Structures are given as structure tokens and as C-alpha cells.
Amino acid sequence: MTEDAAFVGVDELLGSELRDLNFEVLSGGSSLDRRISHPRVQKPGLAFAGYYDYIKAGRVQIVGASEKAYLETQAPEVRTRRCTAILEREIPVFIVTKGLDPIPEFNRLAEAQGVPVLRSPSLSSTVIKRVSNFLEEHLVPSMHLHGVLLDIYGLGVLLIGASGVGKSECALDLITRGHSLVADDRVTVKLYPSGDLVGSAEKPLRHHMELRGLGIVNVHDLFGLASVREHKPIDLVVELEKWDENRAYDRLGLDESVYPILDTPCPFIKMPVALGRNLSILVEIAARNHLLKMQGHHSAREFARMLEEKLAEEGKK
């Protein structure tokens, strides 16, 4: 289980995901390893007017036509003073939009401070939307888990357990029963502002499974499009563990546990693995039962309540 740091390098803005913005580096090319740590972007108009406290460290700064026009109305010494004050505030990158040429002082000062300046021919509104969406996707808290994530009856079910316990084999049996694979072995989990824990597989591993004795198989090619999903919120965690004869397992289902992922509790079940137990059917039933709980029907509690009522009636006789 590993957790990723929440930052994006400026150089990642130049990757394939934002290729449509056609960024070019105007200055600070040797400092593209600067870190962006906040998903919201800013337009530094107030800062250019001298209100520097509105500039937040770690945010992308967007310079459009209005910001450039305002700077051009200021005396050269004022422009230099204000740009210097802004560039000293740990700005990761400036993006100039609409293909504009920034004022010469700005480029020169940015180069001296080692602050990258990028330019895009796109409108400010387009750049803001695309860059904000990109940063929101990449800056949410994330981690990697060892397990298998499946879509079972519309629920995201994460199978975890020690290596060799049978997670992939169980998952393969569930896929043959009509359920879908999201990720095998290495599950990338992201926590979004909505509170959803969304799991997925990284591109090299996507749609693939490792099966001991067979090697790597492509689930999409073997079973078709309906057998895979790109991502899925995690609704239930099931831990497969080897049966321990000396351990007393819950037989009623009244005990409810949670499994924390990125400090977010997920409903959790421990499922012992023993010879003769059909794990895929048991996991399927666990998913169905969890769906009933989400709809307000808790079988174990209802059974316990009926039993208590019966005992109470008999006690009155």
C-alpha cells in the first residue's frame, strides 16, 4: 500500500493530455520541475495592481489580454517592481494565452527567477478549463493497493489478501459469471472531493490479469468489451484469508467492520478461504447482501430482531 504525493510538475502540462493547448516554453525552461500543488488556477490581475496577498503559492497563473493591457499602462519601473514582487511568491508557472507576447520585462524577470512561462494560442477560458480539469484529476489524494477491483452488480468490490490466496482466480471466475474487471494486482485509488474512492488500473496493466501457470491474459480480448471497466468507485472491501481452525469466525453477520483507504472508511468483510468453498459465489452473495444493506435491508439484524421478539414472547408465557 503506497500513497502518492499530491503535486504535478510543470513539465507534465507539456504532455499528451494537454497537447491540444499547444504550449510553448517562453522562459524558465530549466525549471520545468517546479511543483504545482493546487488544482485551482488564478489570474493575477489584482497582483499586477499591487495587491500581492491574493497570489497563492503553488497555483498556475493565467495571463490574458486584460492582464497584459493593464501592465502596459504602467510605467516601466512600476511594472518591474510589481512583476518582481509576484515572481518571488513561489509561483510554479505562468501561462500566457491567446498567443500573446508578454511584455519584455516580464520574460526577463521570470527567466532570472527561474519561473517557467508557457504560451498557448487558446483563449483564456479554454486554458483555464482544460488545465483546471487536468489538475483536479492529478492532484486529488491517491494511492496504490495490492488487490483486484471488480464491478459486481454495479458495486465496486475490492478483493485483497496475501499473495497466492486466490484473488485473481476468484476474480476470473466472477468475470466468467458476467461481472467486470477494473484492475488486477495494482489498483490505483483516488479520493475525489465528493468523497468517492475511485479505483482504476494504469495503462500498461489495464484489462490484463496475471494467472499463475498461464501468465498474463487480456480479459478484454478473451471475454469482450462488457468484461472490463475503466474505473469504479469502491463500495466494498473483501479480504480473502486462509482458513484458521483456531479462529472463531462471525456466523451471524452482525459485526460490521470498515477498511480505511486514504482515511476514508469502506465497508469490510473478512472471508476465510478453505478447500471446497466456492469463493466466487460467496463474493457474489456478499455483493448482493451489501446492496440490500444499502437499500435498508439488513438480513442479520432482521433475523436477530425476530429471534429476540420470539424469545420475549416465550418468556411471557
Active-site residue set: 146, 167, 185, 251
Closest Cα partner for 184 from 214, 152, 218, 155?
Answer: 218
Please tell me the distance from the alpha carbon of residue 308 to that of residue 259, in angstroms, as a whole number. 30
Please tell me the distance from the alpha carbon of residue 259 to that of residue 269, in angstroms, as a whole number. 9
